[in-house]
Every structure is written in C-alpha cells, then in structure tokens.
Amino acid sequence: MEKRLRGRWEWLCLPVASALAMLGQSVLPLIVGAFTVPMVRRWLHKRQSRKDEEARADGVVALCGALVGELRAGHEPGQALLVAVRGTEVLGEAGSRVSAAARFGGDVPKALVQAAGEPGLDGLAGVAACWRVAVGSGAGLATGLARLESALRAERRQSEELRAQLAGAWSTVAVLALLPAVGMGLGAALGADPLRVLLHSTAGLACLVTGGLLEVCGLLWAARIVRAGEAG
C-alpha cells in the first residue's frame, strides 16, 4: 500500500485547495495548490532519499557484522563477502558490483571504494581499508572489521540520539507552521469568515501575500537552524 501511494501524496494538495476554493468562492487557492504540488513532491523526494541513505548506512553496519561472523566461521574472505552481501539487500547495485569483484577475482577494495561514493555507503571505505591491510600484511580481517562495526554502530547511535534531541525543535516548527490555519479556523468559528476577507478584498489579499511570504521565510529559517544542529 505504501509503495503504491509513494509519489502520490503531493496530489492531496489539490483536494485541499479545491475545498478552500469552494469555501472562499475563489480560484486563488486552486492556483496556489497547483504551484504547491511540485514543491511538496520535491520535499517528499528529499525525505525519502534521506530515509534510503540511513537504511544503506544501517546496511553497511549489518554487512560488517555478517562478514565478521562468516570469517570467524572459517570461510575465506571472498566467499564470506559474497554471503554477507547477499544478506544485505539495501546495498543494491553497489552490492552487486562488490559481489562480482569477489566472485570473479577482481579488485575487491577498489569495488568497495567505488561503492562508498554512493550516499549512505561511506562506511564501505573502512571495509576496503581493512581488506587492504589484511591482504598486504596478513593482519586479521575479522578483528579489523569487528572494530569498524563497533565504530559505525557508535556513530549511528550518536546520530539517532541527536535526532531525538532535535525532535522537539521540529515539533515547534510544525506548530508554528499550523498557527495561521488555527487562527483562520477560530475566526471562522466566531463567524468572521476570514477566507472571504482574505480572498475578496484588496487589504485581505495584501495581508495574505505578506503573511504567506513571512510564513515561508520563517519556516525556511527555522528549518535551516535545525539542519545546522543536525549537521553539527
């Protein structure tokens, strides 16, 4: 169900705009709704890309754990890598390239480094480094990968803790974004008919445009502050 609806949520802007157009007896909400669709689509795409990136990062951690288990079970590195990649589906095409290098005797560290260039897979660069050291000096590959797994897990845990701490800030941003709609709802409940005032008078249109611009600027500013906290 979620997969079928993915890429369609932005079209919900049109029914909402249509309802506002009917209530306010104006085509202006329909025009705004049509312009909102591509912006919402872009926001949803960024949100999904971020989720996919986080899933790939978790996949790299799982790959390291599976690879350590296969090596300690007595499998040779190439076979262990094939089994580990096969059990980590989130790697996608990058995992296929790494598997091909391991299966046909290719340059596995090079394939890992190339795969590390994709979003969320930067941890594979550490796997490549461990692989090179193990092949060049005879050091234990399982030991190095176990340490890498611990480091990646700690990094993911720190990221999740930071995201949890910033959840309150995101909630504040969402509440601030909904305040104008709440105000209009209260005005309608009191019989003031705010939609007619905003859509059918010069002063109302001026207030609507000015308020909309201030709303957008405030949301962008607040989001930038929170994003800076996440990046830090």
> What's residue 138's pLDDT?
54
In a domain, 86, yes or no: yes
What is the C-alpha R_g of the chain?
26
CB 152 within 8 A of CB 60: yes
Mean predicted confidence (pLDDT) in 85-91:
78
Both 136 and 188 in one domain: the answer is no
Position 157 pLDDT exceeds 50: yes
Claim to verify: residue 200 and residue 109 sit in the same structural domain: no
The answer to whether residues 110 and 71 belong to one domain is yes
- Do 93 and 134 have their domain in common? yes
What's the rounded Cα separation, in Å, for the pair 162 and 82? 34
Closest alpha carbon to 37 in 11, 4, 5: 11
Rounded CA separation 26/186 (Å): 21
So what's the pLDDT on residue 210? Answer: 92
Segment 200-215 mean pLDDT: 88
Q: How many domains does the chain have?
A: 2
Provide the pLDDT for residue 3: 46
Structure-token pair, residue 198? 């905003």
The shares of helix, strand and coil residues in the chain, as percent rounded to the nearest 5, are 85, 0, 15
| pLDDT attached to residue 149 | 92
149/219 same-domain check: no
Q: Do 144 and 122 fall within a single domain?
A: yes
Let me know if residue 18 belongs to a domain: no
pLDDT at position 150 over 90: yes
Contacts of 98 (CB under 8 A, 6+ apart): 81, 85, 91, 108, 111, 112, 115, 124
Q: Over the chain, what is the mean pLDDT?
A: 84
Cα–Cα distance, 57 to 54 (Å, whole number): 5
Banded pLDDT at 139 (limits 50, 70, 90): low
Identify the domain boundary among 130, 154, 178. Answer: 154
pTM above 0.95, yes or no: no
Q: Is the pLDDT at 48 greater than 60, yes or no?
A: yes
Q: What is the pLDDT of residue 75?
A: 85
Exposure letters 60-91 (e unless 16+ CB within 10 A, then b): bbbbbbbbbbbbeeebebeebbbbbbeebebb
pLDDT band at 146 (very low <50, low <70, confident <90, very high): very high
Of all residues in the chain, the percent with pLDDT exceeding 70 is 94
Is residue 161 in a domain? Answer: no
What is the domain range of residue 117?
54-154
| pLDDT (mean) for 194-200 | 86
Average pLDDT over residues 6-15: 76
d(CA 124, CA 95) in angstroms, rounded, equals 10
